[in-house]
A and B are shown apart, each in its own frame.
Chain A
Amino acid sequence: TQDYHFGLEEGEGISELFDCD
């Protein structure tokens, strides 16, 4: 996965992305 540009910030995950935190 080293080529992939991860853009999520620290503390941002699937729960925050789908407003379910």
Chain B
Amino acid sequence: LPQTPVRAAMSTIQQLMIILNSANDTPSDNLLFYFNNCTVNPHEVIVKRIENMGITFKNKFAEAVGQGCAEIGSQRYKIGVRLYYRVMESLLKSEEKRLSVHNFSKLLNNDIFHISLLACALELVMATYGTSRNASQSMKVETDLSFPWIINILDLKAFELYMIVESFIKAEPSLTREMIKHLEGCEHKIMESLAWQQNSPLFELIKQSKDREGQADEPEPANY
């Protein structure tokens, strides 16, 4: 059958459903294994953060789309969290293989890592359902929920999301072409404009790399 916008959106949604049908709403046994291997066990903080961000997401979604759709926002968030845990597990497995490390305490206790991973998962869910919403216009929308809405409501810097996208795509081989194209589009928006806004962490990274280069250029003191 010819691919219409609605059909393309539906197949992406179905693909997302297939991916997440077997995913968990809470950390899997594998994830708990990694959490328990950490010097500082991040489990409680991770679960608490997901709860708190859930409240923020649902409130902002209802504000944007209409109070009558609060439950839809709740469902979207739930799907996003499943994808978040699923990709986290896959990321840790590949890092374990690549680095032969089992203790991911620093990474798993890094707030920015978790918020950017969750934001990436939620952006994908929003984009997948958003296209269908556009196609059906069934919901009253006060605010455009397309990117960068999700990083604004989660109070995440654009470049922080940028840092996770490639690893996210690598870690989740079942993403459809549309999903990957969408995330790539987000990357372009970030590098073309959002990453260059005031207070972006990109400026600090550029400064650090310049400092490193500067040190490399300075002649070594004689006592070396």
A interface residues, Cβ below 8 angstroms from B: 1, 3-8, 13-15, 17-21
Contacts and interface: CB of A to CB of B under 8 A. Distances in A.
Given A4-B184, A20-B110, A14 B167 contact: yes
B135 interface: no
Interface in B63-103: 91, 94-95, 98-99, 101
Given A1-B169, A4-B180, A20-B110, A14 B164 contact: yes
Contacts of A3: 177, 180-181, 184
Contacts, number: 51
A1 B163 CA distance: 18
8 contacts: A1-B180, A6-B170, A13-B95, A14-B167, A17-B164, A18-B107, A18-B113, A18-B163
Interface residues of B, number: 24
A20 B167 contact: no
Interface SS of B by simple majority: helix
Contacts of B166: 4, 6-8
A3 B177 CA distance: 8
Given A4-B169, A20-B113, A14 B180 contact: no
Interface of B: 91, 94-95, 98-99, 101, 104, 106-107, 110, 112-113, 163-164, 166-167, 169-170, 173, 175, 177, 180-181, 184
Contacts of B104: 15, 20
Interface of A is mostly: loop
A14 to B, nearest CB: 5
B167 A1 contact: no
A15 B110 CA distance: 10
A18 B166 CA distance: 13
B91 A14 contact: yes
A5 B75 CA distance: 32
Given A1-B175, A3-B177, A4-B180, A17 B167 contact: yes
A20 B107 contact: yes
Given A1-B180, A15-B101, A20-B113, 18 more contacts: A1-B169, A1-B173, A3-B180, A3-B181, A4-B180, A4-B184, A6-B166, A7-B166, A13-B98, A13-B167, A14-B113, A15-B95, A17-B167, A18-B107, A18-B110, A18-B112, A19-B106, A20-B110
